[in-house]
Amino acid sequence: MEEKSKETYIDLGKVLQVLWSKIFWIIGATIVAALAVFLYTKFTHKDTYTSEIQLYTVMESREDSSTQEVTTAQINIRRSVAALYVKAIKKQDSLDKMAKALRDQDGYDISASQLGRLISAYIDSDASEIIHVRARTLDKELSYRICRIVGDEAGELVGDAYVGCTVAIFNNPRPPAGPDSSGIARNTVIGALAGFVVSAAVVIIMYLLDRSVKNGEELETASGVRYLGEIPDFAEVFKDGGKHYGGYGSSRGSGAQ
């Protein structure tokens, strides 16, 4: 078990050494990937605008609200209505009705299927009786108008399913103050991480596929013959105390240089 752990540690050390030896290549690939994603995002990005309306479910009652107690059953009904509304707003009939209102009131020629792709609805994670409906479009005014129509039609989508409970406006929508975040910074970081991971993976794969013998230990492992040592390359030039000595067999001859 100890030998196996040691061998695994040595292999990991070799992998880290290989990565370090190619660090400049990896950094270069990371920079190129980040730059490519940055340029692609910058030149293909289109400004989008998001408007939001918040709705909430409420029990209809003629009793005085100051004396009315909210029961657990009523809370569960309100939550069920909220969940139903999230599904009902994307129904074909609902989308057809809202698309018609956009055409008649504002002159937007938009189909129900297109409208369905522009609208998203979800329940608040902290208060499941509150519903968020967002419209994200390329037209600043269209986003706002969609949310206004959602508010106008809010109570009619679930009234037949749950008698005594309806949906009302919690927060009115506002026109978008400006375009949404372009995501250039986020995409650039993701591109840089992808470039780093891919380039590092390529280096590791090339190392693992390389079957050449690089040192005496690998030679001993491959051949099964005990490794004693190796003969140095006398053609190399060694530095010692600032003096340079040409090795035997050097093309510049022997002796002090």
3-class SS of residue 152: helix
| Neighbouring-strand partners of residue 136 | 50
Average pLDDT over residues 114-140: 90
Domain assignment of residue 176, yes or no: no
For the whole model, what pTM was predicted?
0.58
For the chain, how many structural domains are there in total?
2
Cα dihedral: 224, 227, 232, 233 (round 10): 0
Strand 243-246 relative to strand 255-256, pairing: antiparallel
Domain assignment of residue 234, yes or no: no
Shared domain for 157 and 78, answered yes or no, is yes
Cα dihedral: 57, 63, 69, 71 (round 10): -50
Other Cβ atoms less than 10 A from the Cβ of 39: the count is: 13
Average pLDDT over residues 20-33: 92
The whole-angstrom separation of Cα 29 and Cα 32 is: 5
Strand arrangement, sheet containing 238-240: 238-240, 243-246, 255-256
The whole-angstrom separation of Cα 191 and Cα 185 is: 10
Supply the pLDDT for residue 142: 92
Shared domain for 128 and 16, answered yes or no, is no
Domain assignment of residue 109, yes or no: yes
Supply the pLDDT for residue 209: 82
Given a cut of 80, is residue 227 above it in pLDDT? no
% of residues, the chain, pLDDT over 70: 71
Average pLDDT over residues 39-64: 81
The whole-angstrom separation of Cα 100 and Cα 22 is: 61
Please compute Rg for the chain using Cα positions.
35
Could you tell me how many residues make up the chain? 257
Which H/E stretch holds residue 166?
strand 165-171
Domain assignment of residue 159, yes or no: yes
Is-contact 165 158, C-beta < 8 A? yes
Spatial CB neighbours of 251, under 8 Å, sequence gap ≥ 6: 235
The better pLDDT of the pair 90, 216 is held by 90
Residue 196, amino acid: F
Shared domain for 35 and 91, answered yes or no, is no
Structural domain range at position 12: 2-41+184-210
Supply the pLDDT for residue 55: 92
Token pair for 207? 């190392």
Average pLDDT over residues 41-66: 78
Residue showing tokens 């709705």:
55
Shared domain for 32 and 146, answered yes or no, is no
The whole-angstrom separation of Cα 129 and Cα 133 is: 13
What are the φ and ψ backbone dihedral angles of 134, each rounded to 5 degrees?
-120, 145
| Neighbouring-strand partners of residue 122 | 132
Distance between start and end Cα atoms, the chain: 53
The whole-angstrom separation of Cα 231 and Cα 139 is: 76
CATH code, domain with 53 = 3.30.70
Shared domain for 19 and 108, answered yes or no, is no
Domain assignment of residue 206, yes or no: yes
